[in-house]
């Protein structure tokens, strides 16, 4: 992945003025955005309903890691392409005897970033964790190891765990299922009357699913569409909404959730849904 422009101190100052690498919640702006790179089919912009904004992902490994992080209910904040304090990384590199990275073709020290800085809500105070996403081959790349050593020392000094995610360690079936589920969630900009209809039908489906059935989820959803006057595909989409909101619980290791019998799913009776409403 090559840069589409030369990074100078003027560019860095302009990015800072734009608020890159700052903000919280839906107002966060990553330090690096997908349009800062040439298009090669790897970068990705994904809207996150949980975060309330578009997330910038610069590799396939980052995309898979993001889906896994976003799915976790204990994670309340995700800050991608989070910048590290450049003066501090320069000092760390000097102490470690490592050449600090510079932008290609310049004498400008790189503003190093961590792929994800996340906040996790525990029983006690919220805590931070840092994640870098790498290909397995990077584990044998001396230069990549040096840069990771700078990042590890940086976060160690802040008492923040720094974790590595390698492509070969990603639970691919789980991530595939998470992508499949999140594809059905209600998106910003959709017709309000249509989304209200979907919301109403999620309550009805949740009530119907209290009775365990042996038919496959896909067949049940088709039947639900016919009985409730919905268009093709809406039944399965409603089931995905219920799964995303942890009302309908499933095993994400299953190779094909749509063909699973309903007995493979479990209804979460402690969810926010009002199960006292009779299914119609």
> Which secondary structure element, helix H or strand E, spans residue 15, and what is its range?
helix 9-17
For residue 133, the SS3 value is strand
Predicted confidence pLDDT, tens digits, the chain (280 residues): 344 568 999 999 999 999 999 999 999 999 999 988 764 558 899 999 999 999 999 999 999 999 999 999 999 999 999 999 999 999 999 999 999 999 999 999 999 999 999 999 987 788 999 999 999 998 899 999 999 999 999 999 999 999 999 999 999 999 999 999 999 999 888 899 999 999 999 999 998 987 767 899 999 999 999 999 999 999 999 999 999 999 999 999 999 999 999 999 999 877 665 544 433 3
Q: What is the pTM of this model?
A: 0.91
Which phi and psi angles does 47 have, rounded to 5°?
Answer: -80, 130
Alpha helices in 18-114 (DSSP H): 60-71, 86-96
> 18: alpha, beta or left, given left = phi > 0 and alpha = psi -120 to 50?
alpha
């Amino acid at each position: 992945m090559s840069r589409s422009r030369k990074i100078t101190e003027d560019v860095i100052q302009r990015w800072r003025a734009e608020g890159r690498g700052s903000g919280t919640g839906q107002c966060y702006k990553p330090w690096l955005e997908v349009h800062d790179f040439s298009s090669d089919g790897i970068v990705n912009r994904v809207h996150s309903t949980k975060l309330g904004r578009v997330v910038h992902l610069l590799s396939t490994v980052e995309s898979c890691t993001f889906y896994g992080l976003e799915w976790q209910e204990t994670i309340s904040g995700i800050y991608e392409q989070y910048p590290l304090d450049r003066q501090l990384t320069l000092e760390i590199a000097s102490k470690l005897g490592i050449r600090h990275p510079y932008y290609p073709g310049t004498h400008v020290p790189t503003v190093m970033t961590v792929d994800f800085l996340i906040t996790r809500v525990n029983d006690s105070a919220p805590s931070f964790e840092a994640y870098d996403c790498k290909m397995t081959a990077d584990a044998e790349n001396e230069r990549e190891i040096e840069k990771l050593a700078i990042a590890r020392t940086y976060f160690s000094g802040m008492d923040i765990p720094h974790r590595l995610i390698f492509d070969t360690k990603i639970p691919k079936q789980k991530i595939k299922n998470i992508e499949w589920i999140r594809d059905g969630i209600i998106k910003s900009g959709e017709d309000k009357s249509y989304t209200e209809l979907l919301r109403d039908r999620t309550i009805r489906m949740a009530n119907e699913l209290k009775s365990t059935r042996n038919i496959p989820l896909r067949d049940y959803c088709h039947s639900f569409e016919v009985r409730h006057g919905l268009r093709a595909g809406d039944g399965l989409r409603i089931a995905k909404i219920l799964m995303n909101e942890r009302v309908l619980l499933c095993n994400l290791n299953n190779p094909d959730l749509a063909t699973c019998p309903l007995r493979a799913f479990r209804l979460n009776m402690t969810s926010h849904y009002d199960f006292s409403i009779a299914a119609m």
